[in-house]
A and B are shown apart, each in its own frame.
Chain A
């Protein structure tokens, strides 16, 4: 055990040597801290030290200042793109103003809107982060922890954060150790170091100096560990961040934060967009120059094209989609700290899960009993809904009586309304389990114990490994005493001469001993903690009423007892976990268990929840089955593998990688949280996206290193929550699976949203290109584009986030982050050059119709630009010889903007419908299932109508009331888009893997 403890000594911790207070004698200690091991410090001295050292609390890892957090929200990939675009707009505006021919403020507006979008979405993201930080903050203990301290020779209860180095404190079972404490005196004092070292066995602590290493010596209790039982006093030797746990917590900040997969995807996407934008811009720059525009004009065209390529609405869409999912997750008990983490969960391919509390209930529970030569199963479900065993046997009565009486655990008062399994208990884990078990079986156990008045008891100790107590009998006429005893099964058996079978005491012969051995091995093999129980009715003659029982002298028989049975306990898996693990498996996610527990227990739970599947064997299992030495087993045959911390310590990283590659089912037992980090790194080296669960302070480096760190809301420490990206409010593994499902769904739906959003980029860009090359009146204005991007199309694109999954996404493998991109070439190509092209044609058809019907025939329009835009020319002739003033032409141009806008809207309705599915026919998916999407379409139409027909629009936003028939001109194109995409989907479904599938499936 000591070797194991040493593993957590992180090199970083060692570089700041921990003081050697544990080696000092009490006198030296008193000298050093001006204190007294009996009276404590003086309050004046304590106040001085408090002044010097500050409060005894862990400082939150140097919190990123709020403005940096906010700035970070403004500096994502898309955001940068938009900043650049805004700057370009300003430059273009500046050039135009410098030239003195300022006809419109469009560039300025555009720049302002771009910046506004970035800032508003930034605020949105910041608010989300802020909100979840608040949720985390609310978990912090609002009631300050109290500590018992001696000052000026008197006992005080003060807030633990007021403690200082040198204070003499008292700790008892149930308390949290308030700082790093050098033990001065102790009675049966035990601490749970699991949050520090990951080991779940109670550690005893006493004043004895046993090891030079402060982490191994028995005379120091560490800050934030829990006292399980006993009483101790000690001198505080370190407080706050100078404690061991404080040092480890600060380590987490040293681990770099990985980029989230979605951030990588968005960067990739921005690269594509930027590349295309510059390509288009440069092409048309050259074209414009050859056509004969002046350099400055061509430059402005170039900038305008680059800016037109920026999907202004996308940032808002992505942010809103992610936060919708975050909200949905929050309802399912996953709080997401960072919006992008929502998607990360979806691409997760490995989950490194804790055992205790996450996979299991974190509650020792009686799971099996052995009596009457049978193993009986007890109900281990959380809500007592499972099957129980037959309780009619006499032996069970006797066994239950021993379990109930020979037990020092008691319920904390005031919990009558709480279901028994959930009640708080004072006592160690196995006694608690037995207490709850007997309470469930017999009813009120306090009452029961009162009926059997306790005469004396001998608590459990590690030398004799048993616990006994003597009771009066329930029947007041029966004056015999009852001796009950429980302990390590082999020790109990040694003391027995008979065994109770079906209420009969039978002599304990070899046959029964063998039966006992088999049962003991079986239960032990399940990874359960087994206790033996026996009893004896003392004869009235030798031990009459009032006999002075003395546990020190043992003036009563402790052998020749009657063996009642075995009870085994385990921390049982949560009911929902096996199902969740199964789901992970079908979803292609590997679940790796990393626990501080014993390998056998770990393996048993792993097998129980399905991390090790039925029929999978470890190397050791194969060796056992084939009766060959372990070395001869072909490692490739073993699917499962249980590695313990000791082995892990001796492994190189290559060996670990190899191990992870060979065995799909891995369990790491007896690992320190530090080793968790190594395991995570190894998984990441193998290309996995790793999710890690953790609760201890020591887990925080691993949580931070992981692609997504998941902290436990209930049991998790603040440090873990700080380092994590997500918090499970119910500590339940099954919630992670829900998260994965949502994450995958949002990835798919984001893809759809992006495809939808990108499509209209082309019909927004082509008008400008045509305008430059053929010099027609501008078909679509900048403000109109902004309305499409940021008003009418936002809701539909967000509504795609509500789309149900097309197929069972949990049956697919996790996406390969290198291959399955969010935005791939086929998505861009299909959206831009096919659907986008159709939309452009729709727009131009409507544009030319509108112009032609007003008197400007298409051929006349070509080359018309300079006359059309000449603000002094009030007599430009149309195809019929009519003369138009500049303002009349301008309103005609606005009418063109509006019809182009309407065309894009109509086509986008068709587009949002086709984007509902990527593979299935719409008829399979159903048109009307996504109510949000339907209302989005209605909203879009209403907003479009409003913009067109609201009075005043022409002069504010350049929208004109258009003739009714112009609404219907793009409809055939909408239908074309629909049919076109159905054909694409049909091809994709019919010929998977074909050229068609590869080119057209996005």
Chain B
């Protein structure tokens, strides 16, 4: 009976779209590099302290290499959702290019240390993928960061690459079976004006329609909090 039920269950489940998606909406946020927890601490002058971060970032960015992107994905029209709903459910969907080079100082191309050697570290921000989700409801979701604890005055300003928002053309996502080469769009943040050696608690949040970033239960919904300690 169990087998029959499980079989019946699997028959009724679509391989392309989950029956329900309400549990993953609104999207969560994740950063890279993440080594262990959400604490980034290093001494700029000592490569050993930040090597693990740059390695992680490099690995993370491999699929975003320009060549790779150009080979697999197409260039899309910025500023509009890239909808492909007219096609069959099982048909493969095209994915938009997100080139590593667009990350500028945070691409690791010019500066393989992602700014860590200068004490101006890069953090990559990624919004969790949700099938069919159209973030911002027409207007792109922007990113902003602020220091919550520590020497707040020494936080300065941050730089965003390529922009401080997620371009609409990367949405919606069609699921891993059909949207095979999909690469999540990223926002790289460079903390270039931090002037303290004490730990800073930084929170980056998404701003946009339909984004929830004040959930008490889920601290990773539409926002992410991490500590940053940059030694000399």
Contact = CB atoms under 8 A, between A and B. Distances in A.
Contact of B9 (A852, A883, A884): A852
B218 A882 contact: no
A877 B13 CA distance: 17
A5 interface: no
B131 A880 contact: yes
Nearest to B180: A881
Contacts of A976: 1
Contact of A849 (B9, B27, B37, B182): B9
A972 interface: yes
A7 to B, nearest CB: 71
Interface string B193-232: 0000000000000000000000101111100100000000
A872 interface: yes
A883 to B, nearest CB: 4
A875 B219 contact: no
A914 B118 CA distance: 74
A874 interface: yes
B19 interface: yes
A227 B145 CA distance: 102
Interface string B166-184: 0000000101110100100
B220 A841 contact: no
A841 B224 CA distance: 40
Contacts of B1: 841, 972-973, 976
Interface stretch (B51-59, B106-114, B122-130, B150-158): B122-130
Interface in B60-76: none
Interface in A537-583: none
A450 interface: no
B10 A872 contact: no
Contacts, number: 116
B23 interface: yes
Of A844, A857, A874, most buried by chain B (CB within 10 Å of CB) is: A874
A855 interface: yes
A477 interface: no
Q: Place the interface of chain B in its size category.
A: 35 or more
B24 interface: yes
Interface stretch (A671-679, A705-713, A886-894, A985-993): A886-894
B65 to A, nearest CB: 21
A855 B34 contact: no
Given A874-B220, A881-B179, A882-B131, A855 B28 contact: no
The prevalent SS among residues of A at the interface is helix
B218 A872 contact: no
Contacts of B179: 881
A883 B28 contact: yes
The prevalent SS among residues of B at the interface is loop
Interface string A948-975: 0000000100000001000001001100
B28 A857 contact: no
B20 to A, nearest CB: 5
A887 B21 CA distance: 15
Contact of B217 (A854, A887, A972): A887
Nearest to A960: B23
B8 to A, nearest CB: 9
B30 interface: yes
A528 B6 CA distance: 81
A888 B23 contact: yes
A875 B9 contact: no
Given A848-B6, A852-B10, A855-B23, 16 more contacts: A845-B6, A848-B9, A849-B9, A857-B13, A872-B37, A880-B17, A881-B131, A881-B182, A882-B18, A882-B24, A883-B27, A883-B30, A884-B24, A886-B218, A886-B220, A891-B217
- Top 3 nearest A-B pairs by Cβ distance? A881-B176, A885-B28, A887-B218
11 contacts: A853-B18, A854-B18, A855-B18, A858-B9, A872-B34, A872-B38, A874-B220, A880-B175, A880-B176, A881-B176, A885-B221
Interface of B: 1-2, 5-6, 9-10, 13, 16-21, 23-24, 27-30, 34, 36-38, 126, 128-131, 173, 175-177, 179, 182, 215, 217-221, 224
